[in-house]
Structure 1
């Protein structure tokens, strides 16, 4: 770590940039003992809010109660990079390989899902800086170029407008000496202010009559005759049906915990750049950017002219522990700062104003898992593996359909009917994750060639990602 890079972090507040604002919805009181509802949703992030909103839109007379363990925006929904993806399958290549017969349908559903998000934002006047500007993925190593060519062909076959960039074209678009080429995906996906979107959904849920309670973590869930009983800090809540949307946080439905791996991702945000600094980079379309390694960065501009820079280091803590103390990790933030200036040396001297981390709910198949419990009275959608800003709406729709108990176009999908492979229990889980992470780094350093361990995981369609 150079002294200059270290100095760039000296004034960075250990605070999430998106939620460092004054317009958050007021924190509500905890749920009272003995409360009851037709539908109780556990988790007040994107999945829980989309579920509550869609449940009330389906049936305005339904009594919907939403329980949030802390407050709106505390978890991943308020901490992410603000990328919107059409993909429901953690990328096109993964989706085509894992669900080849359903792949065209999954593409259509993903596009429809993103269009519905944009429509909700427009119809309800949610000012979330939503821009469907696509993204660019850059090649940082020679083997990335062939991978991007294959990805370009797949996008083109699906009707997407893409442009392959050689090194000169890539650097003309966004000026970095690290770029060897790139793939510009012009319209598929985009960017959003995630906290503004979340707060807008909170206010929409309130307007629809959803009863929300903050500070109400659910510790247990069991059947009680024809109903369900949820144990919270204030006592007991009774429900006809329950939708679990806890994601990376420990679920009251213990059967799904082995399928979810909590990993920590970290982010930096710069001070606003001057016009001259922006001119030195280019980046005229202000699209989202990523690089193409197994360990990759994601970065994007903010509405007030900063750069958000995150990713690369996915950190798993023994036992799958989720703890606020893990949100600040000096070694990772220093690594990110060094990598930022290697990518944009012309920005030497820029300082970071915010640094944070957050927990992501990864699964072995990189996509959410869905299912029911307690005779169909409980449904869940968890495990978005870093792409939940948009796909959480789809997950909420799937879980609501599952609670109805009747087949739908979504519940019949193989992606919904099968959960994938659980992670091994501790003490085996930690060394398996460490080995996998080490082998992914080694593959990046070895021209993309995947060793025997990664090839074995590929054969079974499992892995580890953020």
Structure 2
């Protein structure tokens, strides 16, 4: 089994070689730090809105190296944050508007991919969420019975389910590589292999020179903590994925997963999965959730115990797959603000802006954030700039060792709550409620 190598998705496509390094000091109109989907979508829409702008992206590795090329491939309308946090600043109407914007963004991404000729194995297949205990069923409020769940996918122990049609399966590396091509075609330069070491008003200092610009946008998601002065802004939370060998027809028939719908569960330490275009199951979840000092992985390598935990999850849901080989494992980081809610912000006075903190629900949200940053930078007052995550502010995470201890205790509580509910507790465990308070969710 391969471990790391960025991700299985990139191994399918082929790892790109960094191009167009920043060659000494330069200037431009808009400097974007981070070549993931947030930065790329922002560059795409800015260049589309005003082709005269000199927009440049600075990326330490290559476009899509981070979570954008490692995620589970859920182009989902899931809210990127806490409804309670957004409602506190914009009321329930604000939460509704953000949900509607995310739902429409699923179609926006699919439409751009079609127009730009981006082949990313996209199938608008929806997502099936299953409950495997009475407590999960109550939380889910699922309208599907166990029998109706089994008609789609035969998940062991499923008692109920919910189906959301506003979700599409995606091959993440193909998507982000396609968006990068579309960005370059619009005249945007992506300076890969160029690591930002400092981001301040008007200036991005890198290991290859200094880029000056009146507008500087930070789009680093889980890698934000690597910038001086930003270590406690967003927590780099780890998520890991394993992918099986290709399954034969008999195995697919046995588990009944004949469509391309995404699959998740309602556990507190939840899992997420997709049936890949080449007939595998890619399944992800939290392994070791956080590394001391906000450290990140090395080239996507993950821990053996995480691989075994995901293997156990896979065979718990599908016992008939107990002997299936795992071909690849990898991990990546996502950005988690202290209130678990994403934000998009821009200050015209300083020219500084940022977007991110998607808490694992960013594949769709990156596009919406990119369009929102476009409007903020261009000074347009639109429905997007009035969404409740626009200008959303949150306090910083605690210093070490408090945040390391807190995060590990948090996920210990969630796993304990799951075990109690799996053992027959008919309601959400009070331990999970304590974990929510610890998390600030």
Fold match, TM over 0.5? yes
Q: Does 1:449 align with 2:429?
A: yes
Q: Does 1:119 align with 2:99?
A: no
Q: Does 1:319 align with 2:293?
A: yes
Match of 1:208 in 2: 186
Task: Provide the rounded CA distance (Å) in 2 between the counterparts of 1:50 and 1:438.
Answer: 36
* Structural mapping, 1:450-465, within 5 Å: 450-451=430-431, 453-454=434-435, 456-457=437-438, 462-463=440-441
Task: Provide the rounded CA distance (Å) in 1 between the counterparts of 2:382 and 2:324.
Answer: 52
Q: Does 1:43 align with 2:21?
A: no
Extract unaligned runs of 5+ from structure 2.
422-427
Match of 1:299 in 2: 273
Match of 1:80 in 2: 71
* 1:103-134 Cα deviation digits (max 9, x unpaired): 22112211222221111011111111111111
Q: CA shift at 1:235, angstroms?
A: 2.0
Match of 1:249 among 223, 228, 251: 223
Cα RMSD, aligned residues only: 2.4
Task: Provide the rounded CA distance (Å) in 2 between the counterparts of 1:131 and 1:120.
Answer: 14
Report if the CA contact (8 A) 2:410-2:438 is conserved: no
Q: CA shift at 1:254, angstroms?
A: 5.0
Task: Provide the rounded CA distance (Å) in 1 between the counterparts of 2:250 and 2:297.
Answer: 41
Report if the CA contact (8 A) 2:95-2:388 is conserved: no
SS in 2 for 1:258: coil
Match of 1:70 in 2: 61
Report if the CA contact (8 A) 1:128-1:192 is conserved: yes
Task: Provide the rounded CA distance (Å) in 2 between the counterparts of 1:92 and 1:425.
Answer: 26
Match of 1:6 in 2: none
* 1:254-297 Cα deviation digits (max 9, x unpaired): 56542301011111101111111111111122200001011011
Task: Provide the rounded CA distance (Å) in 1 between the counterparts of 2:14 and 2:74.
Answer: 21
Q: Does 1:53 align with 2:44?
A: yes
Match of 1:148 among 140, 143, 157: 140
- After superposition, the Cα gap between the structure-2 partners of 1:427 and 1:405, relative to the gap in structure 1 and judged at 3 Å, is farther
Report if the CA contact (8 A) 1:244-1:251 is conserved: no
SS in 1 for 2:163: strand
Q: Does 1:174 align with 2:153?
A: yes
Match of 1:4 in 2: none
Q: CA shift at 1:191, angstroms?
A: 1.0
SS in 2 for 1:393: helix
Aligned length: 432
Report if the CA contact (8 A) 1:33-1:236 is conserved: yes
- After superposition, the Cα gap between the structure-2 partners of 1:91 and 1:132, relative to the gap in structure 1 and judged at 3 Å, is farther
Task: Provide the rounded CA distance (Å) in 2 between the counterparts of 1:94 and 1:308.
Answer: 31
Match of 1:196 in 2: 174
Task: Provide the rounded CA distance (Å) in 2 between the counterparts of 1:381 and 1:342.
Answer: 37
Q: Does 1:30 align with 2:21?
A: yes
Match of 2:343 in 1: 369
**Deviates most, 273-282 or 420-429:** 420-429
Task: Provide the rounded CA distance (Å) in 2 between the counterparts of 1:397 and 1:147.
Answer: 33
- After superposition, the Cα gap between the structure-2 partners of 1:45 and 1:345, relative to the gap in structure 1 and judged at 3 Å, is same
Task: Provide the rounded CA distance (Å) in 2 between the counterparts of 1:455 and 1:195.
Answer: 33
Extract unaligned runs of 5+ from structure 1.
1-10, 153-163
* 1:162-216 Cα deviation digits (max 9, x unpaired): xx2222332343123232221122x211211111111111110111111111111
Q: Does 1:239 align with 2:231?
A: no
* 1:407-436 Cα deviation digits (max 9, x unpaired): 433333332232233211222211222222
SS in 2 for 1:230: strand
Report if the CA contact (8 A) 1:379-1:400 is conserved: no
Report if the CA contact (8 A) 2:39-2:57 is conserved: yes
* 1:296-352 Cα deviation digits (max 9, x unpaired): 110111101011011143511111112417732101101111221222121232111
SS in 1 for 2:215: strand
- After superposition, the Cα gap between the structure-2 partners of 1:455 and 1:29, relative to the gap in structure 1 and judged at 3 Å, is closer
- After superposition, the Cα gap between the structure-2 partners of 1:312 and 1:320, relative to the gap in structure 1 and judged at 3 Å, is closer
Q: CA shift at 1:61, angstroms?
A: 1.1
Task: Provide the rounded CA distance (Å) in 1 between the counterparts of 2:88 and 2:287.
Answer: 26
Q: TM-score, normalised by structure 2?
A: 0.91
